[in-house]
Amino acid sequence: DSITVGELAKRMGVKANELIAELMRQGSMVTINHPLDYESAAILASEFNYEVENVAFDEETILEVEAKKEAEDNAEDLKTRPPVVTIMGHVDHGKTSLLDAIREANVTEGEAGGITQHIGAYDVELDGRKITFLDTPGHEAFTAMRARGAGVTDIVILVVAADDGVMPQTKEAINHSKAAGVPLIVAVNKIDKPEANPERVKQELTEFELVPEEWGGDTIFVEVSAKQQTNLDTLLEMILLQAEVLELQANPNKRAKGSIVEARLDKGRGPVATVLVQDGTLKQGDAIVAGLHFGRVRSMTTATGKQVKEAGPSFPVEVTGLGGVPDAGETFHAVESEKAAKDVSQHRQQKQREIDLAKSSKVSLDQLFAKMQEGEVEELAVIIKADVQGSVEAVRDTLEKLSTDSCRLNVIHTGVGGISESDVTLATASNAIVLGFNVRPETKAKTMAETEKVDIRLYSVIYDAVNDIRDAMEGLLAPTL
Ligand code: GDP
């Protein structure tokens, strides 16, 4: 990806000659059409401090230039940041109890007594070292956040009840964290129970390549009781140990970016969003873009209700001042000015409108993959028309076998003969595609399909149709984790 000197100058709102002069000063002789990669563009732009206010920076320029600047973090700017932890596991295995127990036992000294409120994340301290917990447990929230682009979790705590062992959601949690490439620590919970059998849990988990260290593996297991607050410090120690291995770092000395953990509309305060800073430092008064919305940080509140003026890496705070409510999992960026924030947000809203428009149009095989990724299509409705009844049945049988858990193939109508207006009407109403075998659409039906954007596919061989659909479905089935 590159941008010409002239284009960069335009977007920055400075004369191209000034950029060329600066480049010359740095030793490169270039023309106005010279392409700059983003790194060079970022360096060049930073020389000018983005000094012109009235420029319609578009999203790509602002965010990519920011992103590239980031790649230039000097080693000495990088500071260790606290790990961000999500708790997962089967229902009733004690996720919520564990989150509560950890919070109660480890509220930062001096903040104890402060009313802790649910803002979607909280941080605790052990011997002066911090850990951030996302307090919406479970893999659904985790994966929903990832689907929107937020990979905020550094470490997953897999809770398995010692009296119950590995259950379906335990497996799902393992698969979701594996898919995300996030390391996992096992908390064998409820060891206070007389029927607890931690050894069995360990045994069962070996099947998932989660093997405790004492058995020659490299998975950390901690036996805990959320109820009796047993071994919670050990669990925190292990989290910190794992975090050290991960060498989690961030540069606090730059504009913040991160993810929205939770957001809602508060009657008195307007849109309220819990943000997790992933890099940089968020400051009161900063202009920010969050998802489709923008604003200025009016106030920042921690989970213990303390007002703060700054939030550094891995530090969750509740922010007011946005113009609207973003979705959990969306990213936020602090940008140089409210104008820039507004530009980015408008650019995104425009994009969103295009996506919405595309959504309201009819389904077609070509778009299936995209629509599926939007979470829009879980079923492909099909109308089959053929020259003989035998073909209709053969096609129906073959196609229905293509159904999977994530995309059902639903034959809503079949018939012998040409594709009629009524077929197209049905397809319009049911958002279906029409498959014709050795038949053609009637003229009126064809016109109607064009205006209604109904996808009609004509085949002479069943095999070809099956292939096309399978291809589209395989797009559908590509992992969206
Ligand atoms: P979640 O569905 O995973 O969030 O599980 P909860 O935290 O709601 O716990 C489910 C049940 O297990 C509750 O009745 C808890 O009181 C109980 N529980 C959780 N942890 C422990 C524990 O360490 N020991 C015992 N005996 N019960 C526990």
Query: How far apart are alpha carbons 237 and 155 in whole angstroms?
Result: 13
Kind plus residue range of the DSSP H or E element containing 380? strand 379-386
Which atom of ligand 1 approaches the CA of 97 most closely?
Answer: 7
376: Cβ below 6 Å to ligand 1? no
What distance in angstroms lies between residue 97's CA and the mean position of ligand 1's atoms? Answer: 5
pLDDT, one tens digit per residue, over 154-207 is 999 999 999 999 998 898 788 778 877 899 999 999 999 999 999 999 999 999
Q: Is 89 annotated as a binding residue?
A: yes
| Mean pLDDT value across residues 138-162 | 81
Q: What is the pLDDT of residues 286-295, one digit of tens each?
A: 999 998 899 9
- pLDDT digit string, tens, across residues 162-174: 999 999 889 878 8
With a 6 Å cutoff on the Cβ, whether 229 touches ligand 1 is: no
Question: Is 153 assigned a ligand-binding role in the annotation?
Answer: no
Q: Does any ligand 1 atom lie closer than 6 A to the CB of residue 138?
A: no
Using CA atoms of 33, 37, 41, 44 in order, give the dihedral in degrees to the nearest 10: -90
Atom of ligand 1 at shortest distance to CA of 137?
4
- Closest residue CA from atom 17 of ligand 1: 94
**Interface ipTM above 0.95:** yes
Smallest CA separation from ligand 1 atom 14, residue:
92
Could you tell me the CA-to-CA distances from 342 to 112, 261, 347, 454 in Å, in that order?
39, 22, 8, 37
Question: Rounded mean pLDDT of 361-380?
Answer: 68
**pLDDT-derived band at 115, boundaries 50, 70, 90:** low
The pLDDT of residue 234 is 96
CA 49 to centroid of ligand 1, rounded, Å: 54
215 three-class SS: helix
User: Where does the pLDDT of residue 480 fall: very low under 50, low under 70, confident under 90, or very high at 90 and above?
Assistant: very low
Ligand 1 atom closest to Cα of residue 89: 3
The pLDDT-based confidence of 51 (bands split at 50, 70, 90) is very low
**Is 135 annotated as a binding-site member?**
yes
- Whole-number pLDDT of residue 147: 60
Q: For residue 242, which of 100, 83, 20 has the smallest C-alpha distance?
A: 83
Query: Which atom of ligand 1 has the smallest separation from the CA of 90?
Result: 3
In the predicted structure, residue 349 carries a pLDDT above the cut 90: no
Alpha helices for 316-375 (secondary structure H):
338-360, 365-373
d(CA 423, CA 417): 11
User: Is 90 annotated to bind ligand?
Assistant: yes
- Above 70 in pLDDT, residue 61? no
Please give the structure tokens belonging to residue 160: 């398995």
Who has greater pLDDT, 383 or 2?
Answer: 383
- pLDDT above 70 (res 463): yes
- Provide the pLDDT for residue 434: 92
CA distance 198 to 438: 64
Asked whether residue 340 carries a pLDDT value surpassing 70, the answer given is yes
